[in-house]
Structure formats: structure tokens, C-alpha cells
Structure 1
Amino acid sequence: MRIIAGDWRGRALSAVGKGDPGAHLRPTTDRVRESLFNMLGGGRFGAPFDGARVLDLFAGTGALGLEALSRGADHATFVDDGRVAQRLLRDNIRLLGCADRAVVLGTSALRLPAAPAPATLVFLDPPYDKGFGARALAAAQAGGWLAPEALIVWEERLPQDAPEGFALLDSRRYGDSTVTLLRAP
């Protein structure tokens, strides 16, 4: 895995190795990430990275949030309760030298603490087919993590319906993954 574009373009991230199948550690492939970020950066959704505060839920390796930092986001909060994921997150933050712009929360995305500041860009990549995405989004909203009109990028096996109050912007399939884009109320 590598950073696709921006300040850290081409920089390799820590090897996942065997990952953590029990924790559903399933990194988004470079190809899917590249397609996703090209779509996000194409102007249709404004300039989602410039000065953004990013919330990366079920962060795994942190590749999504780190890609956003590489492309101009100001800060990223990575949330994952898996020990392997937390180690990979810390290794990748250290590799890229961005500890001053990144925080790792070793907690469940379903039970978030109160937000120090709301996020304008949210990556939501829960274990597939478990119903965790909607619950994590509700927890983020309840904890003050979502800025008004925040852009939410939700990766699952199937397209997701927009929860009440959220606007469905787009849904695209990439292999066995579907990315659903939402706008927060």
C-alpha cells in the first residue's frame, strides 16, 4: 500500500502482513482509493481536502485519512479498537511524520467520546454486512463529530441508504466494494 497523490505521493505504508481477520482488517486497495480520491477531488464536491478536519472510522491502516492529509487536510482523527490496526496506524503516522496533525483513538467507532472539533470529511469503512456503519454514523453525530454538511464516504459491500437527515450524493461500485457518498445535515 502507498499514498497515491499529494505531499507524500508514492510513499509506502506499513505492510499489513496477515492483518487481523478477526477484526475484519481489510484495507481499501490502492486502485479503489485512487478512483475514490479522483472522484472526490474532481470538483463536484468542492475542495473536500483543503483545510479539512478528517474523521476516519474503522480506520484500519489509516490509508484513507492519511491520503486526505497528503492532499491538504489539516487534521485527522483515526478511530479503531483493534490492536493490530492501532499499531499500523501509529507506524504509518510515524513513517509520514505527521504526528502533529493526527490522533489515534483506540476505541470503538460505535462508542465515540465527545468531539474536540467537528469533522468536515468522514471516512466510514466498517466490517462488511454487520450493520455497524449506520450505528457509527449515529454515534459520530451524537458526539458532535460531524460538521454541518460534512462529506461522508461510506464503504460497504452494498450501496447504503442515507440515514434520516442525510443527503445521498452518489454511489459507485468498485469490485466487491461500494462507496456511498452522503452529505450530513
Structure 2
Amino acid sequence: MANKVRIIGGTWRSRLLHFDDAPGLRPTPARVRETLFNWLQYDVAGSRCLDLFAGSGALGFEAASRDAQEVVQVESDAKACKNLRANAAVLGGGKNRIIEGEVERFLAGRPEPFDLVFLDPPFAKNLTLKTCLLLEQNGWLAAHALIYVETEVGLELEGLPDNWQLLKHKTAGEVAYRLFARTPALE
């Protein structure tokens, strides 16, 4: 069954993203995306964005629609990647680069610092903290990067890098979402 998510702002406002059902796929709800991009209203344009566990692509395409310079979307599911590529082609998303592969393997590669990271791993898979640490330890974050983390309600994020400061947090239904700011680690 094909599903749809509407882009809520920017150049592609009101355009639909089409995607197929997949295990664990739950696009970020519109009201959560609206809140998130209100938080980020001055930070998206011109930024390099990394969308990990991209799924439907809602967060990455929303950033591209709002003038991000580049959006790299990493997703392991082949069908989801096919849908991401199809949506990018329909939208003219030349700034979206789709990478099919495991996030952990991607983060073990040659780092490119990103200004803005969207991290929305499958729930109940124990991937959040490990991914946050890989982002910091492997050099994927620009000096003052912003990191959006979406988890199931009740998941404690203990052990995050010391140089990440929680800026905002909210819950909506079963979803908890947080925005962190990175400061360069002291050497």
C-alpha cells in the first residue's frame, strides 16, 4: 500500500512524498515536523544536512524544501531508497543524495562534517545512543552542529557526548523529540 506525507513548508510546500509500507517505518508526524522546523527556522538555509534512518524522507525533503545546501539521506531498506530516489526525481531534488546502506557502516566511513543532523532510528532497536556517539567520535558534526533526535517516549538518553546541550524537547503521542546543540569538544 502506498502512503503519503505532505511537505509543510518551503519551495515544495504541499507537495506529496509517496512511500511504501515497511517494517518500523513511521514518518515524523506533520505537527512534530512543524514544531521542529519552527525551532530551526534560521538554521536550515545554506546548511549541510544529514538524515539518518531516512525512511519516508520527510525530514530530509523538508530541509531541502527550505533551502538546505545539501541533504544526505541514509537508509538501509532497498524499497525505501527506491521511493526516496523517486521522490527526489519528481521534486527536482538535485541537492538530495540518497545512500543505501546501514547507518553504522556509513558513519564508519570518511567523515564529512554536517551542520544539521536528523536522527530518527527505528524504535526499540537500541540504536540512538550508539549513533549519537558515532556522530561525535567519528567527525561527522560541524563545530556548532544542531542534532535532532526522535525516540519513543520514555527512552532515557544517558551517556550522550558531554559537549551536546539540550536546547528544546517535546513529546507528541508516543514520540519524544529533542534538539541538541554541539559545542566543540575541549582538547
The two structures share one fold, judged by TM-score above 0.5: yes
Q: TM-score, normalised by structure 2?
A: 0.86
- Contact 1:111 / 1:139 at 8 angstroms: preserved in 2? no
Structure 2 residue corresponding to 1:70, chosen from 65, 69, 80:
65
Query: Could you tell me how far 1:129 is from its partner in structure 2?
Result: 2.3
Query: Could you tell me how far 1:154 is from its partner in structure 2?
Result: 0.4
- Contact 1:60 / 1:88 at 8 angstroms: preserved in 2? no
Percent identity reads: 39
Match of 1:56 in 2: 51
1:28-64 deviation digits (Å, cap 9, x = unpaired): 12222122212322xxxxx211210000000011110
The 1:143–1:89 alpha-carbon spacing in structure 2 relative to 1, beyond 3 Å, is farther
- Contact 2:129 / 2:157 at 8 angstroms: preserved in 1? no
SS of corresponding position for 1:111: helix
Match of 1:6 in 2: 10
The 1:160–1:91 alpha-carbon spacing in structure 2 relative to 1, beyond 3 Å, is farther
SS of corresponding position for 1:161: coil
SS of corresponding position for 2:43: coil
Match of 1:20 in 2: 22
- Contact 1:56 / 1:65 at 8 angstroms: preserved in 2? yes
- Contact 1:25 / 1:85 at 8 angstroms: preserved in 2? no
Q: Distance in 1 between matches of 2:132 and 2:28?
A: 19
Count residues in correspondence: 174
Match of 1:104 in 2: 98
SS of corresponding position for 2:16: coil
Q: Distance in 2 between matches of 1:107 and 1:36?
A: 26
Q: Structure 1 stretches (4+) deviating beyond 6 angstroms?
A: none
| Greater mean alpha carbon deviation, residues 162-171 or residues 173-182 | 162-171
Q: Give, as a single letter, the amino acid of the residue that structure 2 aligns with 1:10.
A: S
Match of 1:44 in 2: none
Q: Distance in 1 between matches of 2:142 and 2:167?
A: 17
Q: TM-score, normalised by structure 1?
A: 0.87
Q: Give, as a single letter, the amino acid of the residue that structure 1 aligns with 2:91.
A: L
Unaligned runs of 5+ in 1: 42-46
User: Which has the larger strand fraction?
Assistant: 2
Structure 2 residue corresponding to 1:169, chosen from 167, 170, 178:
167
RMSD after superposition: 1.6
Unaligned runs of 5+ in 2: none
| Greater mean alpha carbon deviation, residues 175-184 or residues 51-60 | 175-184
Q: Distance in 1 between matches of 2:146 and 2:60?
A: 13
Q: Distance in 1 between matches of 2:67 and 2:35?
A: 18
Query: Could you tell me how far 1:160 is from its partner in structure 2?
Result: 4.6
